[in-house]
Amino acid sequence: MKKTTRTQWVLTTLCAAILAGCGGGGGDTTPATTADADTVADQRATAMLAQMTQAEKIQLVHGVGTQTGPLGGAGYIPGIPRLGIPDFYTADSATGVYQAINGTVVANGATAMPSPLALAASWDITLAHDYGAQIAKELRTIGYTEGLGGGIDLARELRNGRTFEYMGEDPVLAGYMIAARTQGTQEQKVIATIKHFAANDQETNRFVSNSVIDERTLRELHLLSFEIGVKAGKPGNVMCAYNMVNGAKSCQNSYLLTDVLKNEWGYKGKVQSDWFMAVTDTVLAANAGLDEEEAGSTDDSLGFYGIKTYFNQKLATAVAAGSVPQSRLDDMVFRRLRTLYRLGIMDSPATLGGTIDQAAGDKASHDAAVQSMVLLKNATPAGSTTAALPLDSSAIHSIVVIGGHADVGVMAGGGSALTPPRDGNAVTCLQPNAAVAGVTSCATYYKSSPLDAIKAKAPNATVTYFDGSDAAAAANAAAAADVAIVFGTQFETEGGDLASLSLPDNAADPANQAYDQNALISAVAASAKRSIVVLESGTAVTMPWVNNVHAVLEAWYPGLQGGPAIADILFGTVNPSGKLPITFPVNDTDQPQKAISSTDLNVVYSEGLQMGYRWYDAQNIQPLFPFGHGLSYTTFQYSAMSSKADASGNVSVTFTLKNTGKVAGAEVAQLYVALPAAAGEPPRRLVSWQKVQLPAGGSKQITMAVPPERMAIWDTTLHQWHVPAGTFTLYAGASSRDTNMLTSTQALADKVLPLTH
């Protein structure tokens, strides 16, 4: 089978569960002296470390290559049987378990969940927890110790090929969503990962680019999502990035790994390198705070696939020479051991070869998909008294479904975030040799047909399908039908960036597109009585046709149950509740970075704090759809807002939310703040939110607590978080640009926050 794993993507672009018990096995004989799980884990790890030889210590801080060992997967570190230390298996798991051995994908029945960006669009903390738990259950069932899902680099550059793997443009949203996913994962006795630390915001020149960021921007935006995720989620693993940050490689950057992550934030887990080329110097990496090299090799002089490695014989030599202290090696090993103890893995390691509960996976994937889809537009067609959506199956006699391979399946993102389909790709690649930045760009489609699901919802209607290659024929069919549903697709993958946010045509993406999608949508919109566009995308999409269609549903990469989930939203079986975690611009050049340079290795974050919606607000640029936007089949009313602050600077905000429509629905109530003008901040920032389910006519008083950290700026003189004195204006509403936002003001005193963890 053709390689489509992490190895291929790298090489082609190159050239909190409590401790289960205190008995333990192997050489661990230290009795428990306290009921505190963290202290117990520390004690047991210390005792185990004392029994290890130097060679055994070295063995535990590097992998032996990718897709190796009995289980295969992204990484493998053999265990130490005499001490009861189990084999350590790592798998890519952004959307589900990716298992491959020596280039061959293993058909393990794993569930493909919707993309992480889709998860972020749910704004649902409970769902994020359950998403992490579902993938972790399958990881552990197969036998994996650690999952590599957990990307939270901010969507500074929407054309980034990995935008779909991350959790949007706001650090508070991304941080708390990844913390919940992390907790869900680790409760299943699987180590969770947060990555790529840090500022890994585009794929172009990803091994050699240098993210140039001022200190305040770095701390307030690009490190804040990690800070929240680490402190609230307590992951066992943080993966450092390929790129440099301010001139130092991320995995050899002592400011990032030691000063900030370990010392300031109090991080107790291990730091793992990204796969291949992230490390180029043994001493620099080890002394900077790197704890594990991946994929590693059995022999540093040979490397793996010809790529040099640094944490096996080279590290042993460096420790013996004193250029890397023995205490640093011991700390590397200790961090791994205490994580294994803390999560109960040492006492109850996973066994290999279990059977995945596919029915449970299908339900989890479907539930996540319907909660993450975002209804962007829903206008009332001419001559109608109701909005275009939801569709009423009893009143519809004919539906035409057009394009996007909707007859056979739904699209997935590519690279290491892909979960291989259980039963093969539903679509044959048009040009297998077509490439983006040297990366094979054939999309995977899961066999989950929206067409079949639409037919099931409307059994009495005539439902026909056109593949989209003949725009005139599709437009004629749309003119004759009651409803026309056009599917648009946009493929993203690790290893390459998009040239444009526009829906690609056959010239922009010859591997996956046979026609001009924008022209097709425009033709259908010009003739249809009721036109609906469903988007399967990994990032924002520009829409030159948006004013001419009646409804737009953003389905993202919806996962293994995408077809039925899309139909559930279209027909109102589920009321949409997703909100955008990224801003949709009108044009590509509305972004701060006008183009991605293929030659300039310095990626300068010249926009500073004006990133994402902050940029559009500060520059007074009208977005196509703003951050936080998402419609419902019901309506909500906000009223009676008030706020108060205590002596410590904690702010409490209260308001009433009412469902004023005729059906039950969920609203993501969002809270933003404008800081005093002297703070020098963009117009407003997200500080809190709640997703609230209400019956028709129901209301609820909402209270949101905002700690001082959310009101603070990074003081570059003190190098600390600092709440500036002055009047803060709080805004409660349905999106970052809700014109009906409630407001309340609150005076806060000057307060410098201690660097504590």
Angle, to 10 degrees, between the axis of helix 562-570 and the axis of helix 358-372?
Answer: 40
**Yes or no: is domain 35-342 CATH 3.20.20.300?**
yes
**What pLDDT sits at residue 589?**
95
- Please choose, from the candidates 247, 174, 172, the residue with its C-alpha nearest in 3D space to the C-alpha of residue 209: 247
Mean pLDDT of all residues in 698-712:
98
Q: What is the DSSP letter of 722?
A: E
Lowest mean pLDDT among 2-11, 293-302, 515-524: 2-11
Asked if pLDDT for residue 396 goes beyond 90, the answer is yes
Cα–Cα dist 315/329, whole Å: 9
**Yes or no: is domain 634-752 CATH 2.60.40.1930?**
no
Phi, psi for residue 751 in degrees, rounded to 5: -150, 125
pLDDT tier at 603 (50, 70, 90 boundaries)? Answer: very high
Contacts of 286 (CB under 8 A, 6+ apart): 311, 315, 318, 324, 328, 329, 332
Instruction: Answer whether 291's CB lies under 8 Å from 336's CB.
Output: yes
How confident is the model over 191-227, as pLDDT tens digits? 999 999 999 999 999 999 999 999 999 999 999 999 9
Angle, to 10 degrees, between the axis of helix 450-457 and the axis of helix 562-570?
Answer: 40
How confident is the model over 259-292, as pLDDT tens digits? 999 999 999 999 999 999 999 999 999 999 999 9
Three-state DSSP class for residue 68: coil
Three-state DSSP class for residue 605: coil
Counting residues of the chain whose pLDDT is more than 90, the rounded percentage is: 93
Mean pLDDT over the full length of the chain: 94
**What pLDDT sits at residue 435?**
64
Length of the chain: 757
Pairing assessment for the beta strands 636-645 and 237-240 based on DSSP bridges? unpaired
Asked if pLDDT for residue 489 goes beyond 70, the answer is yes
Asked if pLDDT for residue 2 goes beyond 50, the answer is no
Beta strands of 646-737 (E only): which ranges? Answer: 651-659, 665-674, 685-694, 699-706, 713-715, 720-723, 726-733
**What pLDDT sits at residue 24?**
35
Mean pLDDT of all residues in 650-676:
98
Mean pLDDT of all residues in 418-439:
84
Residue 547: other Cβ atoms inside 10 A: 9
**What pLDDT sits at residue 432?**
86
Instruction: Answer whether 198's CB lies under 8 Å from 250's CB.
Output: yes
Cα–Cα dist 750/392, whole Å: 56
- The amino acid sitting at 284 is L
Domain boundaries, the chain: 35-342, 362-582, 634-752
pLDDT tier at 35 (50, 70, 90 boundaries)? Answer: low
Counting residues of the chain whose pLDDT is more than 70, the rounded percentage is: 94
Instruction: Answer whether 448's CB lies under 8 Å from 410's CB.
Output: yes
Cα–Cα dist 458/452, whole Å: 10
Pairing assessment for the beta strands 410-412 and 444-446 based on DSSP bridges? antiparallel
Asked if pLDDT for residue 17 goes beyond 60, the answer is no
753 vs 19, 221, 534, 757, CA distance in Å?
32, 17, 46, 11
Query: Catalytic: 274?
Result: yes
**What pLDDT sits at residue 22?**
31
CATH number for the domain whose boundaries are 362-582: 3.40.50.1700
Beta strands of 23-145 (E only): which ranges? Answer: 75-77, 88-91, 100-101, 104-105
Asked if pLDDT for residue 661 goes beyond 60, the answer is yes
Q: What is the DSSP letter of 434?
A: -
Which is the catalytic residue, given 42, 170, 274, 347?
274
C-alpha atoms less than 13 angstroms from C-alpha of 579 in its C-beta half-sphere: 24
pTM given for the model: 0.95
How confident is the model over 431-484, as pLDDT tens digits? 988 765 545 589 999 999 999 999 999 999 999 999 999 999 999 999 999 999
- The gap between the terminal CA atoms of the chain, to the nearest Å, is 47
How confident is the model over 94-125, as pLDDT tens digits? 999 999 999 999 999 999 999 999 999 999 99
How confident is the model over 311-355, as pLDDT tens digits? 999 999 999 999 999 999 999 999 999 999 999 999 999 999 899
pLDDT tier at 428 (50, 70, 90 boundaries)? Answer: very high
